[in-house]
Amino acid sequence: MAGREQYEVVIVGGGPAGLCAALYGGRGMLRTVLLERGVPGGELLNTEWIEDYPGFPKVKGRELADLMTQHALQFGAEIRQENAESIVRRPDGIFEVTTSLGTIFEAPAVIITAGGTPLKLEVPGELEYAGRGVSYCAVCDGAFFKGETIAVVGGGDAAVEEADYLTRYAEKVYLIHRRGELRASRILQERLFQNPKIEVVWNKRVLELFGDPSGLKTIALEDTETGQLSELKATGCFVFIGFRPNSGIVQQHFAHDASGYMITDDRMMTSIPGLFAAGDLRVQLTRQVTTAVGDATTAAIAVEKYLTERRQSGAGVGSGAHAGV
């Protein structure tokens, strides 16, 4: 039911960063709520295997997400399946986080861990064939392309990992990259080049996607060096060209870089006092599960100190306990 509820910290986003922050918030005996529009886990739910998380040489993304969720719940954090639509800081220093259900969550501190949204190619045919050949999630849709010829667009870790993953279903996978070298880590590149089902299409950008009522059939390409046009026959096109940070729900101005990623200090606090950021929407060198949980650990502990300082200043930490307590 819509209304107002009070907490000490509201966490927006239920990926690895959000779940870790919730764990530490609960462990710190803070009245903590995590808001996530879907099932907690974030990008872990779109990754079949995680191989670079300490202590887990190889673990399914969904399994790790479930373990993180249960761990946060064990420490007393509350998880609500509600979509946060806006974050506003009032003059008294209390934040109002409003969800699509009309609920307003009030707290003196917010940790935003909302991640990002996959970037689109923004070419003709992309929207038309979305769900009929065009996809942004290999784990979600790979099984629909058994024995087919498909393409992956991108050159970073995600594109290379997903191209390798998709070979378990597709007969042939083309990796289309606009440059002459990949940005992915060396170990991932080595795995890619050793896979006989993968062929890299260098120095090409996607111009248009063509098909018929049954779905995608052809990808029109342009050579980024010569301008020469060509076509690639493929029934699937998986796009992994980056993410746009989901920082737009913050209604007040905050310091950010040219791409909209939030700038924080060493405590993960943004330029808005009491608003902390962790994970993929924060400016940083790399975006991994390990960096997400590291950010979140720092942010949650920093929130404890921030609330203590706020109490000592006489500002207090809120207007009461949350509903039901």
Q: Which residues are known to be catalytic? A: 137, 140-141
Answer whether 8's CB lies under 8 Å from 323's CB.
no
Distance between CA 6 and CA 31 in Å, rounded? 9
Say if residues 300 and 294 touch (Cβ distance below 8 Å). Answer: no
**Contact (CB, 8 A) for 271 and 255:** yes
CA 189 to chain centre: 23
Distance of CA 117 to the CA centre of its chain: 7
Looking at the DSSP bridge assignments, the partners of residue 107 are 95
Angle (nearest 5°) at CA 200 between 288 and 178: 75
CA–centroid distance for 81 within its chain = 17
